[in-house]
Chain A
Amino acid sequence: MPEPFTSLKSLPMPLIRDNIDTDQIIPSREMKSTGKTGLTDGLFAGWRYTEIGGREPNPDFVMNDPDFANSQIILGGSNFGCGSSREHAVWALAEYGFRVVIAPSFAPIFAGNCMRNGILPAVLDNGAIAEIENSQETVTIDLPGQQIRLHSGQTWSFPMDGESKMMLLEGLDAIDLSLKHADEIAIWQSADRAKRPWIYLGTRK
């Protein structure tokens, strides 16, 4: 179950490139675990190390800059998280310690995976992201107020639907929430089985 998310203060790590795909966030060859953990070394592996498959840090890559060693926020470019649906991208980000990605837009599957794992995908426009980067200040993420605030006081609002906000704030398990509707689901299925019997492949219990 994801940790509840309330507010967070951190120096954001700028990685402002458009179309950062989940193959870059974690390459297929780095998905060595059949579970959801043990993935941090693979995070951004193609950019983070000097060689493919190696572990020698590439000093030019921002993750290896000591200033951002404890950053919990990524500043990204548009269409962040596009490509493969692999949830390992989000598991690796979360395991490493990132809790927020701020970008002008997100690929939909990636954004959904973030919400299910306690990571906030916050949408701000390019201008705001550039200002945050240039300020080199810590920022405060206020999820209840849906605001991102610079240390110097400048503030932006970000959009978020009610369900996702509630899930992140309370660290709720989506399956538990939906299972509260188990009776309604059973009634729906029973009616649907009469309407569309060809959908149901098993024998009736």
Chain B
Amino acid sequence: MDKLWDSHVVTVPPGGGSLLAIDRVFLHERTGAAALNSLAEAGRKIVDPSRVFAVTDHIVDTRPGRTDQTLIPGGQAFITETRAAAEAAGITLFDVNDPDQGIVHVISPELGIVLPGCTLIAPDSHTCTQGAFGALAWGIGSSEAEHAMATGTLRLNKPKAMRVILNGKLSAGVTPKDMIMTLIARHGAAGGKGHAIEFSGEAATALDMEGRMTLCNMATEFSAMSGFIAPDEKTFTYLKGRRYAPKGNRWDDALSDWESLASDDGATFNQEIELNASNIAPMVSWGTSSEHSISIDDTVPGTAQIRPLEYMALNPGQSLQGTAIDAAFIGSCTNSRLSDLRRASALFKGRKIADGVKAVCVPGSSRVKREAEAEGLDQIFLNAGFEWRESGCSMCFFAGGESFDAGSRAISTTNRNFESRQGPNVKTHIASPETVVASAIAGKISDPRELM
């Protein structure tokens, strides 16, 4: 992190903080128009439009045959205004039916827009996902996005450095989602506050790039500025040949630069946390904060606060396993990539979801959707009783006006279990794709290891 930070400091202005160069900005249709129009109204130009991208993912409809129309009233204006503003500003937009459309943190790596050693920001808190590539990537507000576009920089204080060492080896049926949920459950939703977190250790480096993205995705749920993993051969292999990744001699030059990014042996951190991945079990959230999570074998803590318990209609000491569910969701920037869909679909083995469960699968990008369909995964989900959708953020947050039925109980691969996040008074339990599939089949919260 020191290396990455220091190499991007443009100047240290009087009054504090540093002006840090920003290499990539990624907008989406929920706030893109506001930021671009506000810049234009102030008569400000984007310093380098070739390094600013936008995508329609947040409220775009995910039902088959979609157009600019959204279920959310007035949603279409967000799409059409972002389109017009993007065109006027000369930035690259991955539009509703573009083959490269998808959730921002899924398509940015697919296109090689995020690169090791780069700084990347987006007005979306889960931008930390992209730290999996050894980039400093973090979420900002709309005003900060304007600042970055107008100046090529952001002014900020250097975060503290935290190292999370993930030792051991994940057991079968246990995933990177369960690792990051365990970290937050043990150290609290504010446990990473003020820090950029380097994930290291054998259980982190053993993950493929998609697993690393899941791990880094929820750094924001830990209140960290970002999470990242030092780039290695897996990172380079993933990126080579991607559209915006360097080519030819430039690739070789970039590679030698990226290889020098790993933390030195003597690197110091403000805080270190160790976790043994071998002891982690599938995790499920019970409450309304990311810290309200337990292992699937465990019971709701006796010390739980009343408000989240009342909202979730649970009692202290109650086991989550066996709790009946009404809905299941697979998708979001946390768990919607091809490997997630492969692992999840492999658990069906011809079984169908329980009667009365509404189950939806939303691939993370149009590319993931095509690749999954080429492997026949769509048919597995459809035959089991899941809906199979176009790509987008979808029901992670009631996007596009879609939601589960009021008051229903959902198990979801998303990252947030906030009140009414997935619909009016919907009770969300977050978990891995495996746990979601096992629960959808049983009609109640279930341990995926029993299906293996």
Contacts and interface: CB of A to CB of B under 8 A. Distances in A.
B143 A174 contact: yes
A86 B51 CA distance: 22
Contacts of B221: 82
A178 to B, nearest CB: 5
B151 A175 contact: yes
Contact of A184 (B10, B81, B253): B10
A5 B11 CA distance: 27
B260 interface: no
A175 B253 contact: no
B190 interface: yes
B37 A87 contact: no
Given A175-B151, A181-B13, A185-B153, A198 B77 contact: no
Interface in B381-435: 397-399, 401, 406, 416, 418-421, 424-425
Interface in A21-80: 21, 23-24, 27-29, 31-32, 34-36, 46, 52-53, 78-79
A109 interface: yes
Chain B interface size, under 10 / 10 to 19 / 20 to 34 / 35 or more: 35 or more
Interface string A154-186: 000000011100100000001101111110110
Given A105-B193, A162-B15, A175 B424 contact: no
B118 interface: yes
A46 B244 contact: no
A161 B10 contact: no
B420 A27 contact: yes
A83 interface: yes
B225 interface: yes
Interface stretch (A124-132, A134-142, A188-196): A188-196
Nearest to B113: A201
Contacts of B189: 19, 79, 82
Interface stretch (A6-14, A110-118, A143-151): A110-118
Contacts of B26: none
Given A23-B420, A34-B77, A87-B31, A107 B16 contact: no
B38 interface: yes
A185 B37 contact: no
Contacts, number: 186
Contacts of B23: 199
Interface residues of A, number: 58
Contacts of A182: 151
Contact of A109 (B19, B115, B139): B139
Contact of A31 (B30, B47, B419): B30
B10 A188 contact: yes
Nearest to A166: B15
B150 interface: yes
Nearest to A89: B141
B150 A179 contact: yes
A113 B21 CA distance: 19
A197 interface: yes
Contact of A163 (B17, B37, B51, B143): B17
B418 A108 contact: no
A46 B38 CA distance: 29
Contact of A161 (B17, B397, B406): B17
Interface in A81-104: 82-87, 90
Contact of B50 (A174, A188, A201): A201
B169 to A, nearest CB: 32
Contacts of B47: 185
A155 B31 CA distance: 40
Contact of B418 (A24, A188, A200): A24
Interface string B158-171: 00000000000000
23 contacts: A17-B307, A18-B289, A18-B305, A21-B418, A23-B397, A23-B419, A28-B59, A28-B398, A29-B72, A32-B73, A52-B406, A82-B189, A84-B416, A85-B124, A87-B143, A181-B13, A182-B151, A188-B11, A196-B257, A198-B254, A199-B118, A200-B50, A201-B244
Given A34-B33, A184-B19, A202-B48, 17 more contacts: A23-B416, A23-B421, A27-B420, A28-B59, A52-B420, A79-B193, A108-B223, A112-B140, A113-B143, A116-B143, A162-B15, A179-B150, A182-B151, A184-B11, A196-B117, A196-B257, A202-B49
Interface of A: 17-19, 21, 23-24, 27-29, 31-32, 34-36, 46, 52-53, 78-79, 82-87, 90, 105, 107-109, 112-113, 116-117, 161-163, 166, 174-175, 177-182, 184-185, 188-189, 192, 196-202
